Amino acid sequence: MALTKNKKVLDFVQESADLAQPDKIVWIDGSADQIKALKEEAVKSGELIKLNEHLLPDCYLHRTKVNDVARVEDRTFICTKNKEDAGPINYWMDPREAKELANEIARGSMKGRTMYVIPYSMGVVGSDFAKYGIEVTDSIYVVLNMNIMTRVGKSVLNKIGKDGDFIKGFHAKCNVDAEKRYIMHFPEDNLIISVNSAYGGNVLLGKKCFALRIASWLGKNEGWMAEHMLILGVTFPDGEKKYVAAAFPSACGKTNLAMLIPPKHYTDLGYKIETIGDDIAWIRVGEDGRLWAVNPENGFFGVAPGTNEHSNYNALQSTKRGTIFTNVALNTDDMTVWWEGLTKELPEHVIDWTGKPWNPAKFDKKDKSTCAAHPNSRFTAPAGNCPCISDKFNSEKDAVPLSAIIFGGRRASTTPLVYEARDWNHGVFIGSAMSSETTAAAAGAVGVLRHDPMAMKPFAGYHMGDYFAHWVDMGTKIKNPPKIFNVNWFRTDKDGNFMWPGFGDNMRVLEWILKRCSDTPVDAEETAIGYVPKAEDIDLTDLDYEICAGKKFGVDDLTAILTVDKEKWAKEAEELEGYYNGTIKDRIPQELWDCLATLKANCKVEKKTPATAAEAPAKPKPAAKKTDKE
């Protein structure tokens, strides 16, 4: 029975049903009984496998089709009336043609199936930041994941009310045919259509589709920002709290940074980290002229491989109850889950992510196709499970003020461990210049360096040049802007070993960042690219990291990863100029061209100066050895 009298909601549900022709329509009211019954039905049909109730209560395993394991960027479209508005980096389709194509594919596709209507909220229901959506889908997996990742049910319909607005989402699994897979966004119609996939980012329409692509469009028009950022809080020994948002591309360690456990030296001093979000931040200017951020999600859709007791204890704990695992391996000895990096010992009896018995003897660390769990296997875990979840996460007045914004990519060379922008516009420039190696989160080759401005390349729902201009424009509205930083945890030495330990030790960098944001900032070195720490200002107390056999991390290594090599940066600037001059050119704001000119001028190296050993061009390096998770 319909749970609302809102005509727009009823019309959308009816039009969807007329098109897909399901046998039955079920409204998701969010009640525990309804969710329980759906889980039982999914177990019966084989869509979910029930895991050990004692060890992993209320947890399930789901396997996608092998052709449907990641986001599909080349099948993801922004469908604006005007092609220019989608911009040159997004794939574009004419909205009328897109709808026709989708209708053709989806027509009658739910015959013999049930269509579920999911009312959901991004943000705490009823809070100032919240925005609402209705997703119709023929997948119980989608219902159950949306029920973890968002706030679902009748309370949302009550808030939408008789004539309130919402984002329409239509999802049909169809035959999961990769050739007919389309993820389409219609920002002018507040509509998302997804057909022929059943994988997370393509079908949980509240996440990347709404909370980033559609929301970034809304943010541009309404004067706020939707960003691909984690949010964390740091409590200092004197009790003061500061909040940070950080943008990294998918599968580059956002979940790890958001939940980091500081080294013992720091916890002994009284430092504490709390998590507000691990993937998406909605950010507005507050009355006090600061930026305030919320996490619109309600759960974590995290990368499983590499997650363990040591790398991310808090994430692992979050998966111990009420979690849906996707494409991980099944340990049949005790009906628990396993993935590469979870334990050192390989379990004996394992079914791999495709559902076949796995032979540990054939496992080759370097060959991803021998893995038991898919490299992009995921857990969908309730945020409330996280031991370090912030009390700000679920409150009605749920925003936190940002002291710092951090950008970061996966860069083997050139980019130092951390540096600070000179001002807001320079920070925007640094974000626009981000590039990172690709990961398994999206279909396609892994490890290829590509531009990924603000980690939003796959997620900005409009023209990238206008997106940069929006950042610049926001700067004029923020009286007390956060400081902007860039970090790189992924520098490698000539043998491909990671030069910085990462994980919990990133606290040492966070501390420096926040000390730069205090009223009496710690000193820094002004360089060609911005402010870099003095090596002695990064606290290395009790740091115990072996870069490679027998070589322990020392101050020399820190100095090496803080060094700014002007020659390499001159090349970086030249390459960036090529990128700017490519497709985005005409809409890049003047402020960013000015920053590029400054960078070029700062990096001019006198021709006569003989290159020192440190400045010699780098030899090609073998692939990094540590897990690609972090």
Q: Is residue 90 part of the contact set for ligand SAT (CB under 6 A)? A: no
Question: Closest approach of Cβ 212 to Mn ion, in Å?
Answer: 8
Question: Closest approach of Cβ 41 to ligand SAT, in Å?
Answer: 24
Q: Residue 299 or residue 589: which is nearer to ligand SAT going by CB?
A: 299
Q: Residue 302 or residue 482: which is nearer to ligand SAT going by CB?
A: 302
Helix (H, G, I), strand (E, B) or coil at 51: coil
Q: Residue 130 or residue 441: which is nearer to ligand SAT going by CB?
A: 441
Which distant-in-sequence residues (6+ apart) come within 8 Å of 532 by Cβ? 416, 418, 419, 420, 524, 525, 562, 564
DSSP secondary-structure letter at 171? E
Phi, psi at residue 187, to the nearest 5°? Answer: -60, -30
Q: Is residue 441 part of the contact set for ligand SAT (CB under 6 A)? A: yes
Are 330 and 350 within 8 A, CB to CB?
A: yes
Q: Annotated catalytic sites, by residue?
A: 252
Q: How far apart are CA 9 and CA 145, in angstroms?
A: 22
Residue whose Cβ sits closest to ligand SAT: 201
Q: Residue 133 or residue 201: which is nearer to ligand SAT going by CB?
A: 201
Strands 281-285 and 329-331 turn out to be unpaired
Are 358 and 352 within 8 A, CB to CB?
A: yes
Q: Which does 216 bind (CB under 5 to 8 A by kind): Mn ion, ligand SAT, none?
A: none
Question: Closest approach of Cβ 302 to ligand SAT, in Å?
Answer: 9
Q: Residue 6 or residue 438: which is nearer to ligand SAT going by CB?
A: 438
Q: Is 126 left (phi over 0), alpha (psi -120 to 50) or beta?
A: left
Question: Closest approach of Cβ 468 to ligand SAT, in Å?
Answer: 22
Residue with tokens 């080349």: 74
Question: Closest approach of Cβ 289 to ligand SAT, in Å?
Answer: 31
Q: Residue 124 or residue 443: which is nearer to ligand SAT going by CB?
A: 443
Q: Is residue 200 part of the contact set for ligand SAT (CB under 6 A)? A: yes
The gap from C-alpha 15 to its chain's centroid, in whole angstroms, comes to 33
The gap from C-alpha 264 to its chain's centroid, in whole angstroms, comes to 28
Question: Closest approach of Cβ 597 to ligand SAT, in Å?
Answer: 34
Question: Which stretch in 185-193, 199-207, 264-272, 601-609 sits in contact with ligand SAT by CB under 6 A?
Answer: 199-207
Q: Which does 201 bind (CB under 5 to 8 A by kind): ligand SAT, Mn ion, none?
A: ligand SAT
Residue with tokens 């889908």: 137
Q: Residue 352 or residue 628: which is nearer to Mn ion going by CB?
A: 628
Are 407 and 452 within 8 A, CB to CB?
A: no
Phi, psi at residue 50, to the nearest 5°? Answer: -75, 130
Question: Which stretch in 39-47, 115-123, 177-185, 201-209 sits in contact with ligand SAT by CB under 6 A?
Answer: 201-209
Q: Which does 220 bind (CB under 5 to 8 A by kind): Mn ion, ligand SAT, none?
A: none
Q: Which residue among 39, 62, 63, 71 contacts ligand SAT (CB under 6 A)?
A: 71
244-263 residues in contact with ligand SAT (CB under 6 A) are 250
Question: Closest approach of Cβ 161 to Mn ion, in Å?
Answer: 31
Question: Closest approach of Cβ 400 to Mn ion, in Å?
Answer: 20
Comparing C-alpha atoms, which of 345, 372, 344, 346 is closest to residue 358?
372
The gap from C-alpha 189 to its chain's centroid, in whole angstroms, comes to 25
Q: Residue 233 or residue 458: which is nearer to ligand SAT going by CB?
A: 458
Q: How far apart are CA 490 and CA 630, in angstroms?
A: 8
Burial of 53 (0-12, 13-18, 19+ CB in 10 A): exposed
Phi, psi at residue 167, to the nearest 5°? Answer: -95, 130
Structure token pair of residue 15: 């039009």
Helix (H, G, I), strand (E, B) or coil at 531: strand
Q: Which does 301 bind (CB under 5 to 8 A by kind): ligand SAT, Mn ion, none?
A: ligand SAT
Q: Which residue among 62, 171, 181, 207 contacts ligand SAT (CB under 6 A)?
A: 207
Q: Which residue among 47, 274, 278, 279 contacts Mn ion (CB under 5 A)?
A: 279
Q: First CA to last CA across the chain, in angstroms?
A: 46
Q: Which does 508 bind (CB under 5 to 8 A by kind): ligand SAT, Mn ion, none?
A: none
Are 407 and 415 within 8 A, CB to CB?
A: no
> What is the residue-wise DSSP string for 137-157?
ES-HHHHHHHHHHSEESHHHH
Q: How far apart are CA 86 and CA 465, in angstroms?
A: 10
Structure token pair of residue 75: 């099948």
Q: Which does 207 bind (CB under 5 to 8 A by kind): Mn ion, ligand SAT, none?
A: ligand SAT
Amino acid at 343: T
Question: Closest approach of Cβ 227 to Mn ion, in Å?
Answer: 11
Q: Which residue among 150, 196, 250, 323 contacts Mn ion (CB under 5 A)?
A: 250
Question: Closest approach of Cβ 296 to ligand SAT, in Å?
Answer: 13
Q: Which does 410 bind (CB under 5 to 8 A by kind): Mn ion, ligand SAT, none?
A: none
Question: Closest approach of Cβ 457 to ligand SAT, in Å?
Answer: 12
- CB atoms under 10 Å from CB of 111, counted, come to 11
Name 137's bridge partners.
116, 171
Q: Which does 374 bind (CB under 5 to 8 A by kind): ligand SAT, Mn ion, none?
A: none
Q: Residue 39 or residue 207: which is nearer to ligand SAT going by CB?
A: 207
Instruction: Please provide the size of the chain in residues.
Output: 630
Comparing C-alpha atoms, which of 277, 303, 45 is closest to residue 149?
277
Q: How far apart are CA 603 and CA 404, in angstroms?
A: 26
Are 534 and 524 within 8 A, CB to CB?
A: yes
Alpha helix (H) residue ranges in 92-214: 95-106, 140-149, 154-160, 200-203
Q: Residue 208 or residue 411: which is nearer to ligand SAT going by CB?
A: 208
Q: Which does 432 bind (CB under 5 to 8 A by kind): Mn ion, ligand SAT, none?
A: none
Q: Residue 48 or residue 204: which is nearer to Mn ion going by CB?
A: 204
Q: Which does 200 bind (CB under 5 to 8 A by kind): Mn ion, ligand SAT, none?
A: ligand SAT
Site string for Mn ion, 338-377 (x = CB under 5 A): ----------------------------------------
Question: Which stretch in 92-100, 163-171, 200-208, 563-571 sits in contact with ligand SAT by CB under 6 A?
Answer: 200-208
* Contacts to Mn ion by CB under 5 A: 250, 279
* Contacts to ligand SAT by CB under 6 A: 71, 200-201, 207-208, 250, 301, 441
